[in-house]
Chains A and B, each alone.
Chain A
Amino acid sequence: MFTPAAKAMAEKLGLKKGRANLEEFADTLQALATADRNLVAVTSDSRGSGKLAPYGKALPQQIVEVGIAEQNLVGITAGLAACGKRAFGVSPSCFLTARSLEQIKNDICYSNVPAVLVGISSGVSYGALGSTHHSLHDLAALRAIHNVTIVVPADNFETREAIRFAASATRPVFVRFGKAAMHHLHSADSKFEAGKALVLREGRDVAFIANGETVVHALLAAGALAEQGISARVLSLHTVKPLDTAAVLAAGRECRAVITVEEHSVHGGVGEAVAATLLQARAGVPFKIVGFPDEDTVTGAQADIFRHYGISMEGLAATARSLL
C-alpha cells in the first residue's frame, strides 16, 4: 500500500499496523450482541463479506438473512428497529446506499427509527471490480437526507467506538468503512465522541481534514512536510454529519491553508461540507478538496487508485506545498 518512503515515515512516526476496520467491526458487533440479546444483525448474502460468519454461528437467533435483496434488508432493518430491536443492517456500501436509498430515506430516516446501517467495503475497497462496486456517492446521498448520523472511522479504535455509539443511539446511524488493514492512529487515552473531530497532530501552516482510510496518508504527509519545515495539523473528521464546525473553523482560522481528503467523490462529501462551513463563516482560506474527480474512476486496486488521485503521502504533501 505505501511507497518505501511512506513506510519509512510510518515507522518514524511510530505507527503500528492494526487489522481491517471490517474485522474490528465484526468482533465489536458480536461482543455487543452477546451482551444484548436484543441486538440483531441483518445480512444480504453478505455475512462473509462482513466477516460475520462467526457471529452467525455463535448467535444464530440474532441474525436475519434476507438473501441478495438490499432494499428488503433496509426495510426489514427498519421494521425490527421500529419494534424495539437494536437492528444493524450490514451490506456492501455500494449496494446498500444506492439501491436502497428510498428505504433509507423513508423507512429509517423519515420514520425516525433508531436503525443502524453499516456500509462495508466502502469507497474503492473493491477497486478492481469496477464502479458497480464502488461507493463514492454514499456520503453525498446520505448527507442530503435529514436525520442520520454519518460516521466514517479511520482506524480500529474509531471503528470500535463508532459501532458502540451506534448500538446505543436513539436515532438513525450510518457507518461506513473499508477492508484494508489500518494503522493505529490514536493513543490509549483518546476519547471518541460522535460529532467531534479528533486532532491527530497539531500544526499551523496547513490543516488536513480527512476521514476513513485516507487519514493515515494525511498523517504521513504531515510527517513529510515537517521535515521541510512546514507544520501540518491533521484532523480525523470521522463524523460527517453532524459536522464538527468548531474544529473546522478553528482549522480555517488558525492555519494558512486547508486540505480535505476523502475516499469519496469531490461532489457532496466532506470537502464540500467543510468548504460551506468555512465560507459561510467568512473563514475562506486557500483550499483544496482531494477526493475522486467527476470522471470514470481509474481502475486497479485500492492502493493504485489512491495513488492515482493523490491520496498518498507524496501526493498530499505536494498539494500542501502548492497551496502555501
Chain B
Amino acid sequence: MQSVVKDRPMLSDHQLALKAVALRRRMLRLIHDAGAGHTGGGLSCLDILNVLYHRVLRVTPGTVDSPTRDRYVQSKGHCVEALYAVLSARGYFPEADLATVCRYQSPYVGHPTRKIRGVEMNTGALGHGLPICLGMALASKMDGDAFRVFTLLGDGELAEGSNWEAAMAAAHYNLDNLVAILDHNTLQITGHTRDVMSNEPLDAKWRAFGWEVRIVDGHDYAALTAALTAPHPGKPLFVIANTVKGKGVSFMENVGKWHHGVPSDAELAQALAELDAAEVKVERVALNALSSGAIQASALGSTRSTSKS
C-alpha cells in the first residue's frame, strides 16, 4: 500500500537539498543553544527525516490528530533535535519554541515526548520503537489498512533483543504496512558498532526473519524515496540506509565524539560556514543541470527564500 504523498506537490531533489541545509543549520543552532544534544546521529538521519516528512508520510500539521494518519515513531529518540528541526520547519510548532529545549519547565526535553505536536510516542530508551510500531501496524490492519507505520532505528540500538522479538512478530503477522529504517552510520557511543557488538550481515539477518530488505544511500533523496515507497506485499520492510554520522559538517563526519558533542561558538560558526558553502553548491549544481537541459525550471521550485531558517 506504499505510495508517495498525493496531498501536496512533491518537492524536487533540489528543493530537498536546500531544505536539508536549512534543517542542519536549525539543528546545530538548537544543540549549541541548548548546550546538549545528539549531533552526529542527528546529522546522519536528517536526510531520512527530510524525505519522510516531505515525500512519504501522509501526515501534516492539519491531519496530525486524524486516526488514519501515517505514524512515525523515532526509536532512536536521542536524535530528537533532528526531529524538532524537521517538525518545526513543517509547521507543527513555532521555531521560537526551540529556544526552550532542555530548559526548566520546558516541554521540549532531550528526547521525544507526546507533549510536542507531531510526536507520536515518548521514546529515548532504545529498543522500544519497533514493538510499538508493530502494535500500531496491527491496529491499522484491524481497521482495514488505515495507515502506514514507520520507525527509525540506530545500528547500535539493534543490540537490544526487543528488536529481534519484534522482527519475528512483524513477519509472522505479514505487516506490509510497517517500515523500519536503519540509520546505518556504523558508530555508537563507544566506537564502531563492529567493535562494540557486531551485527552484520544485517541484510541476511532481516531477510531470514522474513522481511523485505532494501539497501540505499541514506543521503540520496531519490533512492530513499524509491526504497520507502515501492510496495512490499505481504512483508514488513527493512530499509538499511547507509549514512555518515555527522553528515554535512566535515569535522564531525565519522568522528565518534560528536555522538553527543555540543559545538562551541567557534565550531558552530565553522559548521554554519560549511553549510553556507553547501547551499551555494546545491544552487550551482541545479543551475548547471538547468542550463544543460538535464532538468526543467519547475524542478528548482522556490524554496530559496524559506531555506534560511
Select which of A95, A132, A300, A301 is within 8 A of B77 by beta carbon: A132
| A45-B189, A45-B196, A68-B157 known; A130-B109 Cβ under 8 A | yes
CB pair A68–B104 under 8 Å, yes or no, is no
Over the window 129-142 of chain A, the binary record of Cβ atoms lying under 8 Å from chain B Cβ atoms (1 yes, 0 no) is 11111000000000
CB pair B105–A298 under 8 Å, yes or no, is yes
B residues less than 8 Å from A3 (CB atoms):
none
Q: Which of A48, A131, A132, A298 has the most CB of B within 10 A?
A: A132
Complex formed: what's the CA distance from A304 to B102 in Å? 11
B residues less than 8 Å from A300 (CB atoms):
102-106
B residues less than 8 Å from A48 (CB atoms):
189-190
CB pair A94–B125 under 8 Å, yes or no, is yes
Residue of A nearest to B154 (CB): A68
Interface SS of chain A: loop
| A45-B156, A300-B103 known; A128-B196 Cβ under 8 A | no
CB pair B157–A299 under 8 Å, yes or no, is no
Residue of A nearest to B102 (CB): A128
CB pair B197–A69 under 8 Å, yes or no, is yes
Q: Which of A130, A131, A301 has the most CB of B within 10 A?
A: A130
Over the window 27-68 of chain B, the binary record of Cβ atoms lying under 8 Å from chain A Cβ atoms (1 yes, 0 no) is 000000010100000000000000000000000000000000
Least Cβ–Cβ distance between B292 and chain A, in angstroms: 47
Chain A CB within 8 A of B113 CB: yes
Q: Which of A44, A66, A67, A308 has the most CB of B within 10 A?
A: A67
Chain B CB within 8 A of A99 CB: yes
Q: How large is the interface on A (under 10, 10 to 19, 20 to 34, 35 or more residues)?
A: 20 to 34
A residues less than 8 Å from B159 (CB atoms):
44-45, 66-69, 72
Complex formed: what's the CA distance from A49 to B260 in Å? 11
Least Cβ–Cβ distance between A212 and chain B, in angstroms: 22
Interface SS of chain B: loop
A residues less than 8 Å from B107 (CB atoms):
299
Chain B CB within 8 A of A47 CB: yes
Complex formed: what's the CA distance from A67 to B195 in Å? 9
B residues less than 8 Å from A102 (CB atoms):
none
Complex formed: what's the CA distance from A132 to B124 in Å? 6
B residues less than 8 Å from A65 (CB atoms):
190, 196-197
Residue of B nearest to A298 (CB): B105
Q: How large is the interface on B (under 10, 10 to 19, 20 to 34, 35 or more residues)?
A: 20 to 34
CB pair A45–B188 under 8 Å, yes or no, is yes
Select which of B110, B127, B190 is within 8 A of A130 by beta carbon: B110
B residues less than 8 Å from A130 (CB atoms):
109-111, 113, 122, 124
CB pair B156–A132 under 8 Å, yes or no, is no
Select which of A49, A72, A298, A301 is within 8 A of B189 by beta carbon: A49
Complex formed: what's the CA distance from A69 to B125 in Å? 11
A residues less than 8 Å from B193 (CB atoms):
67
Chain A CB within 8 A of B300 CB: no
Complex formed: what's the CA distance from A131 to B197 in Å? 27
Least Cβ–Cβ distance between B36 and chain A, in angstroms: 6
CB pair A129–B125 under 8 Å, yes or no, is no
CB pair A72–B161 under 8 Å, yes or no, is yes
Least Cβ–Cβ distance between B107 and chain A, in angstroms: 7
CB pair A299–B160 under 8 Å, yes or no, is no
List residues of A (74-112) whose CB comes within 8 Å of B's CBs. 94-95, 98-99
| A45-B188, A48-B189, A300-B103 known; A128-B109 Cβ under 8 A | yes
B residues less than 8 Å from A298 (CB atoms):
104-105
| A67-B156, A69-B161, A299-B109 known; A47-B190 Cβ under 8 A | yes
Chain A CB within 8 A of B88 CB: no
List residues of A (26-83) whose CB comes within 8 Å of B's CBs. 43-49, 65-69, 71-72
B residues lining the A interface (CB < 8 Å):
34, 36, 77, 102-107, 109-111, 113, 122-127, 156-157, 159-161, 188-190, 193, 196-197
What would 29 A/B residue contacts be, using CB atoms closer than 8 Å?
A45-B156, A45-B159, A46-B189, A65-B190, A66-B159, A67-B156, A67-B196, A68-B188, A68-B197, A69-B159, A72-B161, A94-B125, A95-B125, A98-B125, A128-B34, A128-B102, A128-B110, A129-B109, A129-B111, A129-B124, A130-B113, A131-B122, A132-B125, A133-B111, A299-B102, A299-B104, A299-B106, A300-B103, A301-B102
A residues lining the B interface (CB < 8 Å):
43-49, 65-69, 71-72, 94-95, 98-99, 126, 128-133, 298-301, 304, 308
